[in-house]
Homo-oligomer: A and B are copies of this chain.
Amino acid sequence: MGRWEPNARDRLLRAALELFVDRGYENVTVAEIAARAGLTKRTFFRHVTDKREVLFGGQEDLLRTFTDAIAAAPDSATPIAAIAAGVEAAGAVFRLDRRELVLQRQAVIASNDDLRERETLKSATLTATIAGALRERGVTEPVAGLAAEFGNLAFRTTFARWVSPGNQREFTELARETVGELRAATAALG
């Protein structure tokens, strides 16, 4: 399955979320999502493997954004500095003009055990991806593994702040602040 135009994926996501919010995730069929998005069922399946993947299909973009930014950090960057670059880069995915869409997606995921589990599993993939990107930079174990856990926590905390009610601040700005706080927290671990 190749990469496809991000707008097309958002269109599919928007169509699916409208239906999920209206009628509940469990009660919506793939055919209905495809119809709402103006796609045939066949075209739908060319883009996503199943209904669940409409919600999680953006993950590859996020992982690529992370790894590209970590790889592009200067040679002199510490593991935390490289991770900061990765989390800040995720601001390209989580733009304020897409926040409403992301909030709807989170509400749907929270409504279903299976989707919540999927979200947790995807989170573990992010950790593994960050660790791999750091090893590519020559960071050895156990530092790479520990830094990857730091990176995942930094991402999750930034994300939680970005989606929190009333937030109007940019993801990238929150990322910078969060990484700074977590960096200070490492000194308090003992």
Contacts and interface: CB of A to CB of B under 8 A. Distances in A.
A86 interface: no
A189 B142 contact: no
Interface string A116-141: 01001101100000000000000000
Q: How many copies does the complex hold?
A: 2
A78 B153 contact: no
A87 to B, nearest CB: 14
A188 B79 contact: yes
A190 B85 CA distance: 13
Is chain A's interface secondary structure helix, strand, loop, or mixed overall?
Answer: helix
Interface in A139-188: 142-143, 145-147, 149-150, 152-153, 157, 181-183, 185-186, 188
A149 B185 CA distance: 12
Given A80-B189, A121-B117, A145 B153 contact: yes
Contacts of A120: 120-121, 124
A13 to B, nearest CB: 24
Nearest to A78: B190
Contact of A150 (B80, B157, B189): B189
A167 B7 CA distance: 52
A71 interface: no
A81 interface: yes
8 contacts: A78-B189, A78-B190, A80-B190, A121-B121, A124-B124, A146-B186, A147-B189, A186-B186
